[in-house]
Amino acid sequence: MEELKKTIRVVMFDQYGTVVDMQGGLVKAIEPFLREKGFKGSVNSFVTWWRRTHFENSMIDALLHQTHTPYREIGHRALSYTLERAGIEPALEDVKRLVACIETLECFPEVPQALLRIKGRYPIVVLSNGDPDMLERAKAFHRIDFDRVLSVASAGAFKPHVASYTYAAKEMGVAPHQVLFVANHAFDCIGAKAAGMHTAFIDKRRRPFGQTPHQPDWILKDMTELADVLSSSTPMVSPKAAAQ
């Protein structure tokens, strides 16, 4: 463990669902709208299907090897489809307003303090599937002082495509194995590990990681536990050193 911590030069985070509470935030945002439309089902299940549809469409987009589709546009398609499945006619103005709520999501409660502790040891960076302008606007709501915020739009492919992780490592001036990638999603950890990064799986939902050769280096219950691991007996690394 100590040798691995000495190897790490940058700690990189997924944003949606890892740093910010995407599920809880979207449930809160869309529930009044759904109830107004007469939806009687589980709002939590609706948001889960919305997110799964978004993920599926993102993966299709990456696999087509065509021009990268903006995250926001994928979001509009996914929500429209999910509303139709729920028997609600999707109006474009409603879809745009609700997808824009992704930009205003707040952190999980333990995240700000945990990331502050980690930032005292390593540069902290976001690598997100979100569009650059969405990630820029989100800063006012999550209020985490990341050293860099990177969008896969610059790589031309959504995570877990290898191009997104290799782009991020190159942009930070480090080799992939010098990055610890942190995510609450198994697919993201698998993609980062396959690209040569070290990974930490934040297992908030208490689910098995699954049978894959790309196992995470650490499985942790939350960001506080990650900060505990990284803060103990670890040499200081400055953002400047990470770029060397």
CB of 222 closer than 8 Å to CB of 115: no
Asked whether residue 77 falls in the same domain as residue 42, the answer is: yes
Residue 80: is its pLDDT beyond 70?
A: yes
Distance CA 41, CA 181 (A): 36
Asked whether residue 89 falls in the same domain as residue 173, the answer is: no
Which of 49, 71, 103 terminates a domain? The answer is 103
- Helix, strand and coil content of the chain, in percent to the nearest 5, comes to 55, 10, 35
Which amino acid, one-letter code, is at 238? Answer: S
Q: How many domains does the chain have?
A: 2
CB of 197 closer than 8 Å to CB of 177: yes
DSSP state letter for 220: E
Q: Determine if the pTM surpasses 0.95.
A: no
Asked whether residue 15 falls in the same domain as residue 40, the answer is: no
Exposure string (b/e) for 95-107, b if CB count within 10 Å is 16 or more? beebbeebbebbb
Asked whether residue 65 falls in the same domain as residue 134, the answer is: no
Distance CA 169, CA 176 (A): 5
Would you place residue 236 in the very low, low, confident or very high pLDDT band (cuts 50, 70, 90)?
very low
CB of 24 closer than 8 Å to CB of 47: no
Residue 242: is its pLDDT beyond 80?
A: no
Would you place residue 233 in the very low, low, confident or very high pLDDT band (cuts 50, 70, 90)?
low
Instruction: Name which of 103-107, 149-153, 235-239 the model is least confident about.
Output: 235-239
Which of 72, 103, 134 terminates a domain? The answer is 103
Q: Which domain holds residue 85?
A: 22-103
Would you place residue 2 in the very low, low, confident or very high pLDDT band (cuts 50, 70, 90)?
confident
